[in-house]
A and B are shown apart, each in its own frame.
Chain A
Amino acid sequence: MLAKRIISCLDIKEGRVVKGTKFLDLKDAGDPVELAKYYNSEGVDELCFLDISASHEGRATLTELAEAVAQEVFIPFTVGGGISSIDEMRGILRAGADKIAINTSGIKNPDLIKHGAKEFGSQCIVLAIDAKLNPDRKSWDVYIKGGRENTGIDAIEWAKQVERLGAGEILLTSMDADGTKKGYDTELTKRVADSVSIPVIASGGAGDIEDVIDVFKRTNCDAALLASILHYKNITVKEIKNQMKKEMMAVRTIY
């Protein structure tokens, strides 16, 4: 049986990891490779590097980042943030990344999803969807540009559409839950995961182990993305996986 995945997410700015690295007893906690190695040894199943650089120059280092990580770490990793062309995707994938996450550029140019999937295979294309509840419509809107702009597009419909366009996975972030540490948005996650047949990664809101268990129990999602609670060592990957095992969930064993 396919294991439910625990993914560690690292924010990158100008090629360095920012936020959530204070606790780490590493020589250089801002070095993406050092952190990738650390999380690999902790037993995380996958890594996700999201670039938050505002400028294009800041993002130019993503290819170098992918190359450096791929040389040292032998688990799958995704790179995302501002990638808007097939050439950029090719460069990062050739450098050793397994998947490319696209968000704003996928909304602006849905053909990018289609062409990317055709060129590199669906498994390389992760669609990042930032969704926020629209209380009037009682549904979720898709936001772009780091959550600054509401597109008015329905998140469930967009999820179905990106699957048709060839996306291989959906990284679903609940803007309502993100940063609250009160748990994942299981309602949104359930709705999206039930609407598509590609894997869905739940993101935003994890505060403790029970939140991870909860999202796997109550929704059909395939993976849980964790950022701050792992970075600040509130909980470890091992503790999460031990609890998942107790709940009879399939996990990848940590050796």
Chain B
Amino acid sequence: MIIEKTDAVVFPGVGAFGPAMESIKKNKLDEIIIKSAKSSKPFLGICLGMQVLFDSSEEDSNEKGLSVLKGKVVRFKKARKVPHIGWNQVSSFKKEFYFVHSYYVIPEDRSIISSETEHEGEKFVSAVKKENLFAVQFHPEKSGDAGLEFLQDFIKKV
């Protein structure tokens, strides 16, 4: 498969956890995604592409995630306005990125957390990093210049 031959993998995602996992399995992409994410090549999960890397999600109790990273995906609880749509600060970048989501990840291993973001008093994990595996809840591809800069930095790792 072509994914094996690439120098880096970007795993974007928009949609719901259950149907996404169903589709990944139906197209027999689960193993190759897991393998790529665990390999040494740069891997970037975006939004739902971040969430399905974890074990499970409150969005769909029937479908398990890819379990590349340990932890679960939960829905906003404290925040009143859900989905969380718009530009918000991402701690490690000190810049605003564009978000569109109702769920966020809670990694078991806190040491992989690279950024957090706050929405109506609810702090959540907006980026994780484990060696060459990067996953972000925001959409760099929709975050204007800040996003393009982020993607350029990712490409530089190749």
Contact yes or no, A123 B87, CB < 8 A: no
Q: Answer whether A252 and B96 are a contact pair too, CB < 8 Å, given A3-B86, A120-B15.
A: yes
**Chain B interfacial residues counted at CB < 8 A:** 31
CB < 8 Å neighbour of B100 from A40, A75, A123: A123
Contact with B along A183-219 (1 / 0, CB 8 A): 0000000000000011100000000000000000000
Enumerate chain A residues within 8 angstroms of B141, measured Cβ to Cβ. 74
Contact yes or no, B145 A76, CB < 8 A: no
Contact yes or no, A2 B84, CB < 8 A: yes
CB < 8 Å neighbour of A5 from B82, B83, B87: B87
Query: A51 contacts the other chain (Cβ, under 8 Å)?
Result: no
Contact with B along A27-48 (1 / 0, CB 8 A): 0000000000000100001000
Enumerate chain B residues within 8 angstroms of A223, measured Cβ to Cβ. 86
Enumerate chain B residues within 8 angstroms of A98, measured Cβ to Cβ. 100, 142
- Taking the closest CB of chain B, its distance from the CB of A52, in whole angstroms, is 25
Q: Answer whether A198 and B98 are a contact pair too, CB < 8 Å, given A74-B143, A74-B144, A74-B147.
A: no
Query: B35 contacts the other chain (Cβ, under 8 Å)?
Result: no
Contact with B along A90-118 (1 / 0, CB 8 A): 00000000100000000000000000000
B119 (CB) vs chain A CBs: closest residue? A2
How far apart are the CA atoms of A168 and B16 in the complex, in Å?
A: 14
- Taking the closest CB of chain A, its distance from the CB of B22, in whole angstroms, is 14
Query: A222 contacts the other chain (Cβ, under 8 Å)?
Result: yes
> Which range contains the number of A residues in contact with the other chain?
20 to 34
Query: B14 contacts the other chain (Cβ, under 8 Å)?
Result: yes
Contact with B along A61-95 (1 / 0, CB 8 A): 00000000000001110000000000000000000
Contact yes or no, B102 A122, CB < 8 A: yes
- Taking the closest CB of chain B, its distance from the CB of A195, in whole angstroms, is 12
Enumerate chain A residues within 8 angstroms of B118, measured Cβ to Cβ. 1
Contact with A along B109-149 (1 / 0, CB 8 A): 00000000011100000000000000000010111111110
Contact yes or no, A2 B144, CB < 8 A: no
CB < 8 Å neighbour of A255 from B81, B85, B87, B146: B146
- Report A1-40 residues with CB < 8 Å from chain B CB: 1-3, 5, 40
- Taking the closest CB of chain B, its distance from the CB of A228, in whole angstroms, is 24
CB < 8 Å neighbour of B83 from A3, A74, A122, A253: A122
B98 (CB) vs chain A CBs: closest residue? A76
Enumerate chain B residues within 8 angstroms of A124, measured Cβ to Cβ. 14
Residues in chain A within 8 A of chain B (CB atoms): 1-3, 5, 40, 45, 74-76, 98, 120-124, 168-169, 197-199, 222-223, 252-253, 255
Provide a sorted-by-A list of 9 A–B residue pairs whose CB atoms are within 8 angstroms: A1-B88, A2-B84, A3-B87, A3-B96, A74-B147, A74-B148, A76-B142, A98-B142, A199-B81
